[in-house]
Amino acid sequence: MEKTRPDGIDLTEWDFWARPLDERHAAFRTLRYLPRPAFFREPELSFVPAGPGYYALTTHADVVEASRRPADFCSGQGAININDMPADLGEYFGSMINMDDPRHAKIRRIVSRAFSPRMIQRFEDQVQAVAEQVVEEVLAKGGGDFVTDVAARLPLKIICDLMGIDEAHYKTVFDNSNIILAGADTEFVSEEADQVALQLLEAGQTLKDLVEELGRRRRGEPTGDLTSALVNANIDGESLTDQELGSFFILLVVAGNETTRNAIAHGLHLLTRYPEQRELIASDFERYVPGAVEEIVRYASPVIWMRRTATRDTELNGHEFTAGDKLLLYYWSANRDETVFTDPDVFDITRDPNPHVGFGGPGPHFCLGAHLARREITVMFRELFRRAPGVRATGEPDRLLSNFINGIKHLPYAI
Ligand code: HEM
């Protein structure tokens, strides 16, 4: 397929991701109306050579179709990185999100089995208890940074508790997951690309050491946590090895923690910016909250893209791809596709249907934590609106400089 890039849009430049949101959305709108997916060069990184480049899939139809065909568009050559990564990074960041069947199916099966009804009940009770505690502290404090006071706390505690990580390690988990998803944001990582690679490796190693040590203990003496369920054989005699446990934990921390944190922070920002939507949800919380959660995930799209690689010469919705072509599935563009969503730039909690792809498209990698994430967002806002009904953002979000995570680093709030 012809490799074209429209003038004035370069998704590989950090400058693009520093532009105001509406300009970025306008650029993606332009990309959606091109006759074929645009092609971009890969980032120049010091520790890996730049590969041949990538196509940007920006329409809802293309993102859904690529997700649906894992045999033609695979994840195993990298789903969360544009450049192919060296093997030593793969060791840390190579969990199931970067795998294809049958390895992917095996790990997903072990993890899914570990989420027994008892485990699910346990974390649902825990979500409620933690949200209550967070709101208690918010009431005492009266305001501050919504991300550190509220949005970051619930997902972090839930993931750690689920895995059996002690409270003494929360800060280690928080700081290292910030580094892993820092993009080019110098609040968390160095300006020097060489340093960033080292920081990433160190963060991965720290998290891996933490959970492997725990895994060793749980292998001998299982408790009721997820780590025990993962390292001890299940009914099919399957369990995770140390290496699989380490990279799964990093995936869980990264996929389950930061994403939900950002969804909650975007939620407060959006419900402040659109007061009529805020009034609507306040008028009948239980009725409107399911739609509000889906609309927050659509509108914010906390995960901007995932990558796939063509496994053979093939066609997708009339576009021809060659074996080895890299495709970035831009969820946040698909979620604004005006051929699917009426007035996509309007935040509307009553939107129905809302076939967003914020948790990924239909396929084997669809977000494993979607149920938990929906639950966390719902319970957090229920507790906030019940006990601090005046809670609101009092300024603009301080946004993460990243092309991958639509992150909010800080958000001032008051009650
Ligand atoms: C609003 C919050 C969340 C968003 C927006 C989100 C988004 C996503 C996306 C886009 C994918 C990739 C889908 C694909 O490649 O087709 C994914 C996969 C995944 N997510 Fe989530 N996620 C969220 C919360 C969570 C939570 C709370 C957990 C943990 C319990 C979690 C665990 C995972 C895992 C393990 C995968 C990989 C699944 C696989 O490869 O089979 N996510 N998520």
Binding site membership of 158 for ligand 1 (Cβ less than 6 Å): no
Answer whether 342's CB lies under 8 Å from 350's CB: no
pLDDT at 90 (0 to 100): 65
Cα 49 to Cα 307: distance, rounded to the nearest angstrom: 18
Across all residues in the chain, what is the average pLDDT? 93
pLDDT at 76 (0 to 100): 93
The ranges of the chain with pLDDT < 70 are 88-91
pLDDT at 190 (0 to 100): 85
Q: Would you state the structure tokens that stand for residue 265, as one six-digit string?
A: 């922070």
pLDDT at 184 (0 to 100): 79
Cα 384 to Cα 391: distance, rounded to the nearest angstrom: 7
Give per-residue burial for 367-379: e unless 16+ CB within 10 Å, then b.
Answer: bbbeebbbbbbbb
Best residue for ligand 1 mutational test, from 259, 327, 406 (most atoms within 8 Å of Cβ): 259
Q: CA separation (Å) from 24 to 123, 162, 333?
A: 37, 37, 10
Compute the distance from residue 366 Cα to the ligand 1 centre, in Å. Answer: 7
The three-state secondary structure class of 415 is coil
Binding site membership of 300 for ligand 1 (Cβ less than 6 Å): no
pLDDT at 409 (0 to 100): 95
- Rounded to a whole number of angstroms, the CA Rg of the chain reads 21
Compute the distance from residue 373 Cα to the ligand 1 centre, in Å. Answer: 9
Binding site membership of 360 for ligand 1 (Cβ less than 6 Å): yes
Compute the distance from residue 188 Cα to the ligand 1 centre, in Å. Answer: 23
Binding site membership of 253 for ligand 1 (Cβ less than 6 Å): no
Binding site membership of 329 for ligand 1 (Cβ less than 6 Å): no
Give per-residue burial for 276-286: e unless 16+ CB within 10 Å, then b.
Answer: ebbebbeeeee
Compute the distance from residue 301 Cα to the ligand 1 centre, in Å. Answer: 12
pTM: 0.95
